[in-house]
């Protein structure tokens, strides 16, 4: 039996956490800030993560354009307890993750690229079932 779109998205997020155990949270969000799928710790508000992730990507893209830096690849934020990485998933979604401060960023970036490709394919099939 085929998995639903939601199940497929959750599978990708689960694989991401399995492949990089330092990833503690992840979310797929529409560019409008609505959470599509997430694996967030208890107490983290899904709606806020969605809104902030979409806004962050939008601001990053605008900043990259204004500074003539080319297309935005990803946004990296470093906090006292780890990293937040946000990147686009196709034209209509955003992937954000939170990792521990010990995360190997090269591995995180590599796995995020792979996950973003898989997520984009799932979301394209959702909006264009013939593809």
Provide the CATH number for the domain around residue 21: 3.30.450.30
The answer to whether 61 touches 31, Cβ cutoff 8 Å, is: no
| CA atoms of 82 and 4, how far apart (whole Å) | 32
List the domain range (segments joined by +) for residue 50.
5-126
**Cβ(82)–Cβ(24) under 8 Å?**
yes
* 58 part of a folded domain: yes
**Predicted local confidence at residue 129, as pLDDT:** 54
Can you give the pLDDT at residue 82? 94
Residue-level pLDDT at 75 = 94
Question: Does the residue 131 lie in any domain?
Answer: no
86 domain-assigned: yes
In a domain, 94, yes or no: yes
- Residue 29 lies inside a defined structural domain of this protein: yes
As for how many domains the chain has, the answer is 1
Local confidence pLDDT in tens for the 131 residues of the chain: 467 888 999 999 999 999 999 999 999 999 999 999 999 999 999 999 999 999 999 999 999 999 999 888 899 999 999 999 999 998 889 999 999 999 999 999 999 999 999 999 999 876 655 55
């Amino acid at each position: 039996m085929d998995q639903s779109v939601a199940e497929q998205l959750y599978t990708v997020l689960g694989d991401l956490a399995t492949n990089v155990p330092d990833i503690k949270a992840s979310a797929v969000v529409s560019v409008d800030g609505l959470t599509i799928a997430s694996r967030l710790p208890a107490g983290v508000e899904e709606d806020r993560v969605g809104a902030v992730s979409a806004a962050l990507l939008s601001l990053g893209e605008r900043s990259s354009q204004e500074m003539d830096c080319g297309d935005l690849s990803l946004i990296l934020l470093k906090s006292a307890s780890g990293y937040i990485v946000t990147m686009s998933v196709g034209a209509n979604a955003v992937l954000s993750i939170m990792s521990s401060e010990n995360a190997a960023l090269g591995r995180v970036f590599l796995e995020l690229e792979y996950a973003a490709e898989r997520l984009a394919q799932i979301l394209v099939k959702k909006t264009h079932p013939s593809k």
